[in-house]
Structure 1
Amino acid sequence: MSPILGHSIFKILSIPKPNRTLLNEFKRSFSIFKKKEKVKEASPYIVVRASKEEYNDIIRIMHESYYPEEPTCSSLNITPNAVLDQRAIKAMEEGLTLVAKCKYNGCIVGACINESTSPWDPDMEEKLACTVKCEKTKKLLMFYAYLTRAPDLWRCLGIQKVYEMGYVFVNRTHRKKGLALKLMEESKSLGADAGFAVVRCDATSIYTAKICEKLGMQKVAEIPYCTYLDQNLEPIFKPPWPQEGVKIYCDCSPQFHEVNKKLKASTEPKRRKKNIET
């Protein structure tokens, strides 16, 4: 043992319990006792509201990154078409869509298309499906109507509007950087700030479901793909494992949770400062 270290330990052992000054000085003098704070790297992305001029870019990325991989669309081998594009644009026109952009060149690399749903929307969706000639698109729209109606949140909660995080997608080259989580987190906050009493997400993939759970949303319904059948009693969707069904998540107190999050964020620097002083 080093003579200096042995002498310091002897001093500490001889310190009366009420006197902690020398003990604190000893802790500061040895790096083994110091807690190194993790330095947060600045993200090269920003999340902002989408403008009307960006709708076409969002649709283009949606064609490349959403339809080929989303379980229901890929299972039906859906080809993007004017009906689905118009449906997405109609949702974007509510002004609740968020996009992730690269800070350096301003390119859109991902989006979360959010919209509000009302009790009559499933009926309107079914009417639209009946006018579509493409059988695959018709099946998809009928499934959307079924999903929207399934938990019957309007009647159960006595509300007329639900904020829904509809489509979430990120460009392939910009994945595994937490962008989907950031987009959904900001979208959830936007729903609370916009005054919606309920925030909802229909997680058609296990990856979206995991994000919903990270955000503290509660699962209110689950629809296995094998239970949604056609006229011949055959499953309409047969996505590869591990995609097994749709999980519907809700947050019925978004404003309350948002206030708590902001309060926690505002008190955290004070706690950190107090820890540094002690």
Structure 2
Amino acid sequence: MTNHFGKFINKILSELKPTIFIPTRNRSIFRGSKAKQQNLSPYIILKATKEDYDHVLKLMHECFYIEEPTCLSLNLNHNTILDETALKNMAEGITLVARCKYDGCIVGACINNTTNPWDPDLKEKLACNVQCTKTKQLLLFQAHVQRFPRLWNCYDVQKVFEISNVFLKRELRKTDIMEKLVRESKDLAADCGYKVVRLDATSKNLVELCKKVNMELAAEIPYCMYIGKNNKPVFDPPHPNDSVKIYVDVDPQIKKVVGNDSSISK
């Protein structure tokens, strides 16, 4: 009887099909350990509310524009157009903030939004209606960078989750808060079903951050090759910020369908 039972079990096992494992990006709702880790820090990552928008803008004025290489190169600080753009992005409801658990103070933010294939054209039209020359130059460059890798075509998607601006209070730069903001943004994108996440690293520090969170380099635009009407580079940021590097996080289940043959000069 033992022989017959053994043969029966072997027959069942032989008929079982092997399980095929298809890798997918981690979904934050399945990672309970992360909540425990956050409890050890005085700062937590949360979605920004409408009441947070003005606080995020103020922090952006203090920590982002005065150090971001393209704005620094143009000697351009915040203005109404840039603030309206940031508020429009925050209105999508996918911006994250780093908040102190004890006093509720916002110490950092990751302004996230989604982009469509026609958005670079809309940004160029906006630039044409702007009186400030420096703001116009910045918007035109942003439209060029946004269009350059053609991610919508490359991955056959209609929307791309874009990590537009990441910033943190200076005294906390040596912590891992900014890394957490980016990682949480990637998780949020995955949870919402977005297949492609992009971050345009305009500085060396952001490049290192993208590498740390395992994002992949998709394209690079050297500042010296973005030429203005006077046939001179528009930007001359301080060393070591020599280019914009476009990083992506792509769902492994989708494949790149179109190559990138864009020109890197204007």
The structure with the largest helix share of the pair is 1
d(CA) in 1 for partners of 2:140 and 2:112?
A: 20
Q: Give the root-mean-square deviation of aligned CA atoms.
A: 1.7
Mapping 1:21-32, distance limit 5 Å: none
The letter for the 2-side match of 1:122 is P
Equivalent pair of 1:114/1:163 in contact (CA under 8 Å): yes
The letter for the 2-side match of 1:120 is W
1:233: how far off?
1.2
SS in 1 for 2:162: strand
d(CA) in 1 for partners of 2:156 and 2:207?
A: 26
The aligned counterpart of 1:203 is 201
1:43: how far off?
1.1
Structure-1-length-normalised TM-score: 0.76
The aligned counterpart of 1:188 is 186
Residue 229 in structure 1 maps to residue 253 in structure 2: no
Residue 177 in structure 1 maps to residue 142 in structure 2: no
Residue 58 in structure 1 maps to residue 95 in structure 2: no
Mapping 1:115-264, distance limit 5 Å: 115-253=113-251
1:232: how far off?
1.3
d(CA) in 2 for partners of 1:254 and 1:99?
A: 28
d(CA) in 1 for partners of 2:170 and 2:252?
A: 30
d(CA) in 2 for partners of 1:144 and 1:57?
A: 24
In structure 1, list runs of 5 or more residues that go unmatched: 1-38, 257-278
SS in 2 for 1:248: strand
SS in 1 for 2:247: strand
Equivalent pair of 1:165/1:201 in contact (CA under 8 Å): yes
Which range moves more in the overlay, 153-162 or 109-118? 153-162
Question: Which structure has the greater CA radius of gyration?
Answer: 1
d(CA) in 1 for partners of 2:47 and 2:209?
A: 20
Structure-2-length-normalised TM-score: 0.79
d(CA) in 1 for partners of 2:165 and 2:88?
A: 13
d(CA) in 1 for partners of 2:246 and 2:94?
A: 20
Mapping 1:13-52, distance limit 5 Å: 42-52=40-50
The letter for the 2-side match of 1:86 is E
SS in 1 for 2:123: helix
Equivalent pair of 1:114/1:166 in contact (CA under 8 Å): yes
The letter for the 2-side match of 1:61 is L
Structure 1 stretches of 4+ moved >3 Å: none
In structure 2, list runs of 5 or more residues that go unmatched: 1-36, 255-266
Q: Deviations over 1:165-188 (max 9, x none)?
A: 000000112221111111001011
The aligned counterpart of 1:72 is 70
The aligned counterpart of 1:33 is none
